[in-house]
Amino acid sequence: MNPDHSAAAVRQAEQLLEINRPQEALRALSATLAQEPDNVTALCLAARAELGLAEPERARDFAARAAVAAPTSEWPMRLLALSLVRMKRPQEAYDAARTAVANAPDLWQTHHALAHVCSSMFGMTSVAYAAARNAIERAPLEPDPHAILGRVALESGDQKTAELALREALRLDPNHTVARNDLGRLQLLRKDHFGAADHFAQAAASDVRLDVAAHNIDIALTSAVARLFFWVWILLITLGRIALQLKGIGAVWAGLATLAVLIGLVLWQLRGLVPALRGRLGPYLRLLPHRDRMMTASIGLLALGMIALALMCVLPSAWRWPPAIIGAVALIGSRVLLAVRARRSKRS
């Protein structure tokens, strides 16, 4: 192939990969790879494209060919490590990442790849920390090294370091989807379900390829609904039951106490929900009835149960049983729908 044509094809593939069109990038490289099977740059770009298409085995094959053609280059080994991680072959991925670091010890990307590989390996936390900090030392203004340090810290349970690193990555690049998603995971660990869902929604909006962010939104919302159900149910079978059993002034005070606790639960949820609604979670929830009818129905039944419980609190004692029964049935229906939805999600 004419060298000019080969270089043009490589440039076109690079541009296509930058705008997330991996399939077209592979087509642009096909002629070059047919005529120049040992073209290292073309092979590495093809490996990147296959990773973008969630084809780690094919990416591994391209990266391995590039590594044979250029054994002292770091790029093929980095891509090989990333491919092997996706294939759940951590030891081989670690060996490839170590080779990449040996080939280019002053390049931050090699240390980043090593930290990424080690972050999910048992007993490799110290190696992952060291690699992430080496990457930051070599490129303090790049967001990726800070994001991988946040990931390593999050996986090891160091929430303070994770938050500092992830927020620094987002300061350098507010649209960094991996850091945003991991910050959502951190908020989820802290039981801030709506805050977590907002971060996940921002990550999903920034990069539609990040399917895990959309999945994490569902996890956060499911956890929020399940937690609210739990506390409303506890309220119903404790103070609510007392309000149903008492007569006279005692029933009035028990109803008011139940109502006060119910209002407190609502305000507690609003404290986390309102800021999230001002962010990316608001548009996501507005589309929820079209995206997830079962979750919408579960939330609707939970709201109905809470309204019925509130009505029970203010009615005379002789009229409290009907709204109490309606509320209990609505709450049980909400929880059943949530459980069915969770089971379907696991199957899919």
Spatial separation of the C-alpha atoms in residues 292 and 346, rounded to whole Å: 15
What beta strand segments (E) does 239-318 contain?
none
Structure-token pair, residue 201: 């929604």
Q: Is the dihedral of CA 244, 250, 256, 262 positive or negative?
A: negative
Per DSSP, the residues of 110-145 read HHHHHHHHHHTSTT-HHHHHHHHHHHHHH-TT-HHH
pTM attached to this predicted model? 0.80
CB within 8 A of 282, min separation 6: which ones?
A: 276
Spatial separation of the C-alpha atoms in residues 16 and 26, rounded to whole Å: 9
Structure-token pair, residue 293: 């009818």
215 pLDDT higher than 60? yes
pLDDT of residue 133: 97
pLDDT by residue (tens digit) across 290-306? 888 888 999 999 999 99
Band (57; pLDDT cuts 50, 70, 90): very high
pLDDT by residue (tens digit) across 70-110? 999 999 999 999 999 999 999 999 999 999 999 999 999 99
The percent of residues in the chain predicted with pLDDT above 90, rounded, is 57
Q: What are phi and psi of 53, to 5 degrees?
A: -95, 10
> Where do the domains of the chain lie?
3-211, 215-347
Residue of 149, 227, 135, 222 lying closest to 183 (CA atoms): 149
pLDDT by residue (tens digit) across 176-197? 999 999 999 999 999 888 888 8
Spatial separation of the C-alpha atoms in residues 186 and 151, rounded to whole Å: 10
Spatial separation of the C-alpha atoms in residues 190 and 184, rounded to whole Å: 10
CB within 8 A of 133, min separation 6: which ones?
A: 149
Structure-token pair, residue 178: 């991996």
- Asked if CATH classification 1.25.40.10 holds for the domain at 3-211, the reply, yes or no, is yes
Spatial separation of the C-alpha atoms in residues 209 and 17, rounded to whole Å: 13
pLDDT of residue 331: 93
